[in-house]
Structure 1
Amino acid sequence: MADEQQNKHWYALYTKPRWEKKVYDLIQRRGVEGYCPMNKVRKKWTDRFKVIEEPLFKSYLFVRVDEQEKGVVRYVDGVVNYVYWLGKPAIIREDDIERIKRFLNEYSDVKVEQIGQPQPGDKVLITGGVFMEQEGTVLATDKKRVEILIESLGCKLVAQVDKDKVTVRKG
């Protein structure tokens, strides 16, 4: 049993919009361990306020599976796909799942905000494409692309790079 648990990892699933609870229910019926973080939110109706539970991460939930179960989960109705990182389904650390659970037990009406979006002046590392592994400075951004100044080649090059191929450097 302990061996079996060691072979299981947490993965993030991307679902159809507003299908998080349905998919969670369907995977539980198949005996798969899952977690759909629910946020208690105070909503105003015309005549009253009501506290409801809604998924913390829109269109996402987590499953803990081994290699054999990955395929079964992928074809559950409402699942779009696993969330990928570097070409493979991204493994979520156990302590990150526990941290989310503890946080939601202590707080309600939690807001999820994206961090790490490149801003002009940020130092970044390019993670894909012809300039992969090059560092640069963000000059400008738009919805999908980042304009980066790359000085390491002995001259100044300005490249338009897709945002998903850039990570913000810390420090």
Structure 2
Amino acid sequence: MNWYVVYTKPRWEKKVAEQLQKNGIECYCPLVTQIKQWSDRKKKVEVPLFNSYVFVKLEEADRNTIFQSSGVVRYLFWLGKPAIVREEEITIIKKWLDTSDVADVMVEYYKIGDEIQLVSGPFTDQKAIVQEVKNTHYVLVLESLGCVLKMKKNSLV
């Protein structure tokens, strides 16, 4: 079985994941906690890490079963084929969200374009390229995961 990326209607990620689970389909919607500010209060809310995306694990032959759930728009395609996410990439995302460790990276000694290997935290042993060095944060590109990691300077040890 493969992990596929399903594109959902905007702000339907949690609803789609819930419906897919009720239908017996293994899915994963990574959530992060954010503090949202309204005019009269602040509140912690769980929001999807990836807007409009839910990961589903199923056989190639069963791919059309997800369209029984409302809110599902289509599969995400890469080079003309449905995008497949490796199991280890899902594991890395889960590990990253479950850990409170901060990666021990001293980015200020690197320059833009340097390739580094992370030595601690949820992305241990992942190679990253320094894309930006700003006053308040650093931006690292994790090519193996195809994502960008933004780290606040005060979060680095």
| Superposition TM-score tier, normalisation by shorter sequence | 0.5 to 0.7
Pairwise CA distance, 1:47:
3.7
Aligned equivalents of 1:90, 1:75: Cα separation in 2: 20
Structure 2 equivalent of residue 38 of structure 1: 31
The two structures have a TM-score, normalised by structure 1, of 0.55
Q: Is the 8 A contact 1:74 1:82 kept in 2?
A: no
Q: Is the 8 A contact 1:19 1:59 kept in 2?
A: yes
* Structure 2: gaps of 5 or more residues: 101-157
Matched, 1:62 2:55: yes
* Structure 1: gaps of 5 or more residues: 1-7, 108-171
Out of 38-47 and 61-70, give the one that drifted further: 38-47
2:72 corresponds to which letter in structure 1?
V
Matched, 1:18 2:11: yes
Structure 2 equivalent of residue 87 of structure 1: 80
Aligned equivalents of 1:79, 1:47: Cα separation in 2: 34
Structure 2 equivalent of residue 126 of structure 1: none
Pairwise CA distance, 1:106:
2.4
Matches within 5 A, 1:3-152: 8-107=1-100
Structure 2 equivalent of residue 153 of structure 1: none
Aligned equivalents of 1:76, 1:88: Cα separation in 2: 22
2:60 corresponds to which letter in structure 1?
E
2:80 corresponds to which letter in structure 1?
G
1:74 corresponds to which letter in structure 2?
F
2:48 corresponds to which letter in structure 1?
P
2:39 match: secondary structure: coil
> 1:68-100 CA distances to partner (integer Å, 9 max, x unpaired)?
321111342111111001111111011111111
Aligned equivalents of 2:45, 2:62: Cα separation in 1: 32
Aligned equivalents of 1:97, 1:78: Cα separation in 2: 22
Aligned equivalents of 2:76, 2:63: Cα separation in 1: 12
Aligned equivalents of 1:67, 1:84: Cα separation in 2: 14
Aligned equivalents of 1:74, 1:98: Cα separation in 2: 25
Aligned equivalents of 1:88, 1:37: Cα separation in 2: 23
Number of aligned residue pairs: 100
The two structures have a TM-score, normalised by structure 2, of 0.60
- Give the aligned CA root-mean-square deviation in angstroms: 1.3
Aligned equivalents of 1:69, 1:25: Cα separation in 2: 18
1:26 match: secondary structure: helix
2:91 match: secondary structure: helix
Q: Larger Rg: 1 or 2?
A: 1
